[in-house]
Amino acid sequence: MSVTPENSQLFAALLPERQLDSLVGQWIHDDIPSFDVGGLVVGTAPKQATLWMKSSGILAGMPFVDAVFNHLQCSVEWNKDVAIEGKWIDVDGGKIALATVHGPVHKLLQGERTALNTMSRCSGVATGSHHSVEVARKIGWKGWVAGTRKTTPGFRVVEKYGLLVGGAATHRLDLSQMVMLKDNHIWAAGSITDAVKLARRAAGFSQKIEV
């Protein structure tokens, strides 16, 4: 199935709500481990902020922005004519308003950097994977273009999701999905045969083992 903006939006259903909220909580805690003095200064009056897109590329990560501000009791109103997950957005004519966020001003600022960094990272991965898939198709490659397990710590879900939105495959998501035995595993086990036998016993009959 080719990836289009229409079916890219379906990928949001992959993200378990509770897990996503827990992940967002870790991000927020990482940024605000104790007092938020800046939040005290700006106060709690209701305000609104605009989310702008300033670089051309594939838009990806809308569910993460929603999750960040929902966690902070703010609301996001997307510009539905422009903000379409998986769509290539050209900003050569100037920055484009993607959304308006409403909430207490200190909450807006608490979520601002986390939301922007997450969407920027996700959109960058989606854009890079989109370009890679395009190059592969132009030279006649019919197989999958896939990302590796080597994701940024704490950002695995964001980056794997970005791969999907950009049109690439996720390959394995983590060490628990599919078994890949490399030189180090074989060396430590003593032989390919011993490594595969032990891996098969632990992984069961249904999981793929690749050497």
Distance CA 195, CA 122 (A): 36
| Alpha-carbon torsion angle 181, 122, 63, 14, nearest 10 | -20
Q: Examine the residue annotation and report whether 150 is marked as an active-site residue of this protein.
A: yes
Report the alpha-carbon angle 81-86-89, nearest 5: 55
Q: Which two tokens stand for residue 110?
A: 């608490």
Q: Rounded CA gap, 92 and 88, in Å? A: 12
Tell me if residue 22 falls in helix, strand or coil: helix
Catalytic residue, chosen from 107, 150, 182, 197, is 150
Using DSSP, state whether 101 is helix, strand or coil: strand
What is residue 209's DSSP assignment? E
Active site members: 150
